[in-house]
Amino acid sequence: MIPLWLYGVGGVAIAAVSFGSGYTVRAWKADSDIAKIEQKLEEEAAAQRARADTAAAKYEEARSALDTQSYRTQTTIREVYRNVQVPAECAVLEPAADSLRSSVDAANAVATGKSAPALP
């Protein structure tokens, strides 16, 4: 016959193994839950990255188009103002141009402290 104390030791050993395996299974479950959460976070981060990349690409396209349009506008304005031909009836008459030049010379002379020449 098996002594009674041996049944007690066996029962305690079985209880200890059951207790330890319960914690092991619980740890496996927690690890599984953590892995699911991490996977969900990675998917959300990838989706956010994709949205940011899409927005950045749209911004770069719009900026490129605006840069091109701005360059064209500036170039066109520059060409329009440089290449304007004054009609003959609107041109400055020679006596008026001479009067303007002499007025500028007189103003410059006064600004530098010299006596102004007589205006025509």
Residue 114 lies in a domain: no
Instruction: Say what the pLDDT of residue 43 is.
Output: 96
Residue 38 lies in a domain: yes
Instruction: Say what the pLDDT of residue 94 is.
Output: 83
Distance CA 69, CA 76 (A): 10
Domain hosting residue 58, numbered range: 4-82
Whose tokens are 């031909």? That residue is 85
Residue 59 lies in a domain: yes
Residue 57 lies in a domain: yes
Which helix H or strand E contains 55, and what residues bound it? Answer: helix 4-82
Residue 102 lies in a domain: no
Per-residue pLDDT reduced to its tens digit, 17-71: 777 777 778 888 899 999 999 999 999 999 999 999 999 999 999 888 887 777 7
* Residue 116 CB coordination number (10 Å): 14
**Count of domains forming the chain:** 1
The identity of residue 10, as a single letter, is G
Residue 41 lies in a domain: yes
Q: How far is CA 8 from CA 13, 16, 19, 62, in A?
A: 9, 12, 16, 81
